[in-house]
Amino acid sequence: MNEIEGWIKEAKKVESPNFSKRPIEAEISLIVIHGISLPPGMYGSENIDKFFLNKLDPSEHDYFKEISNLKVSSHFLIERSGVLKQYVSIHKKAWHAGVSRFEDQEECNDFSIGIELEGTDSTKYEIDQYEKLIDLSNVLMQNYPLITKERIVGHSDISPKRKTDPGKLFDWNYFKSKI
């Protein structure tokens, strides 16, 4: 994998309008791993793309009525099949973490890269997803040396009262042994 001007060449580019500039003093130093499926537990649709593009139709599912007005994004999504998509340039701030804190820093979106895995807290992730996540994490760590193994965390780690993803079935030991 190669990074070119904030975009990973191998990723399918699906540009989200939901981003902003990073603060000038912010240095990319954290990866946040998330889990997502829309509707919850359903895989293989274009609903995650629609969500990040503000095109989710609230009439398609009751859950969409709750979330269709949210403006969110992530830098990356790794689908169950291992397909990698990118929504926001790494140089920009994606809106994935919300109210968050890592160590003594708040507003993790300012200094992090968000990676969504298609899945739920109660479903094991696929080996293809781990392989793509390992490759992507290694590229990001090479390009952003402040990112270390210790600075790759779950959404639940930076927003523990609000979030539980990527969930207890995410295999941190396997993942971190390969990066």
Query: Catalytic site residues?
Result: 116
CA distance 167 to 119: 9
What is the distance of C-alpha 107 from the center of its chain?
15
CA distance 49 to 30: 24
Contact call for residues 31 and 145 (beta carbons, < 8 A): no
Round to whole Å and give the CA distance between 179 and 172: 11
Which residues, in sequence order, are CB contacts of 139 under 8 Å at separation 6+? 1, 2, 3, 8
Query: Could you write out the three-class secondary structure of 38-67?
Result: CCCCCCCCCHHHHHHCCCCCCCCCHHHHHH
